[in-house]
């Protein structure tokens, strides 16, 4: 009896992420949550994986004698986390990143800091060569737990119009 009742109201929903070209509006700002706290392990592994041998990122004693007085998070890790935070909302449906510019690292990030991000839509236009797609340009800002901007960048993406994305055709 219980299964019969549930069957009458049961429906299936698939979680979706990202936006189609039509869903972007110039001036809109998307706040990306949750935040991400960067651990010393994150920083050490990233430095090792990328062969970044600067001791400020993994030698606590060396860092203690620097102007920062403690380990500094590798700046490409900061950028990567801020970009990653924006993907599910801004670029998960994108077909390609077309370009990056004006990448700025505006304040140091330390192990234990928590990053948050937001993205503003700067421009959008239909693609001249791909009628099912548009080009969206955004600016993303990463801030620490105190609201201090630590990173910002502008990027352009090729974004499908509704009905032209992988999600529209896939049955996975």
The CATH classification of domain 17-37+74-161, taken from the options 3.10.129.10, 1.10.150.20, 3.30.70.260, 3.40.30.10: 3.10.129.10
Where are the alpha helices (H) located in 124-171, listed in sequence order?
Answer: 166-169
Question: Which band of pLDDT confidence, cut at 50, 70 and 90, is reported for residue 132?
Answer: very high
38 near 77, Cβ under 8 Å?
A: yes
pLDDT at 114: 98
Domain extents in the chain: 17-37+74-161
Per residue in 79-109, pLDDT (tens digit) is: 999 999 999 999 999 999 999 999 999 999 9
Residue 6 predicted with pLDDT over 60: no
Q: How far is CA 66 from the centre of its chain?
A: 30
User: Distance (Å, rounded) from C-alpha 115 to C-alpha 144?
Assistant: 5
Summarised one tens digit per residue, pLDDT across range 16-59 is 788 999 999 999 999 999 999 999 999 999 999 999 999 999 99
Instruction: Check pLDDT > 90 for residue 170.
Output: no
Residue among 135, 119, 116 at smallest CA distance from 127: 135
At 166, is the pLDDT very low, low, confident or very high (cuts 50, 70, 90)? confident
In whole angstroms, what is the distance from residue 7 CA to residue 44 CA?
51
> Residue 1: CB partners within 8 Å, gap ≥ 6?
none
Q: Report the distance separating Cα 79 and Cα 134, nearest Å.
A: 25
**3-class secondary structure, 73:** coil
Q: Taking all residues of the chain, what is their mean pLDDT, rounded to a whole number?
A: 91
Which tokens go with 75?
Answer: 């700046």
In the numeric block, the tokens 């403690």 are attached to: 70
* Residue 10 confidence (pLDDT): 75
Report the SS3 class of residue 158.
strand
């Amino acid at each position: 009896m219980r299964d019969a009742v549930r069957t009458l109201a049961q429906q299936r929903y698939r979680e979706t992420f990202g936006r189609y070209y039509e869903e972007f509006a110039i001036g809109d700002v998307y706040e990306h949550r949750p935040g991400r706290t960067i651990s010393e392990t994150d920083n050490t592994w990233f430095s090792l994986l990328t062969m970044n041998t600067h001791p400020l990122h993994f030698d606590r004693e060396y860092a203690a004698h620097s102007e920062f007085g403690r380990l500094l998070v590798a700046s490409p890790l900061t950028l990567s986390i801020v970009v990653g935070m924006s993907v599910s909302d801004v670029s998960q449906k994108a077909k390609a990143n077309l370009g990056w510019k004006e990448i700025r690292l505006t304040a140091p990030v330390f192990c234990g800091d928590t990053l948050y991000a937001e993205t503003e839509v700067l421009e959008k236009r239909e693609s001249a060569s791909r009628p099912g797609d548009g080009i969206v340009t955004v600016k993303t800002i990463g801030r620490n737990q105190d609201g201090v901007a630590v990173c910002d960048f502008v990027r352009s993406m090729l974004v499908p119009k509704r009905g032209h994305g992988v999600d529209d055709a896939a049955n996975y």
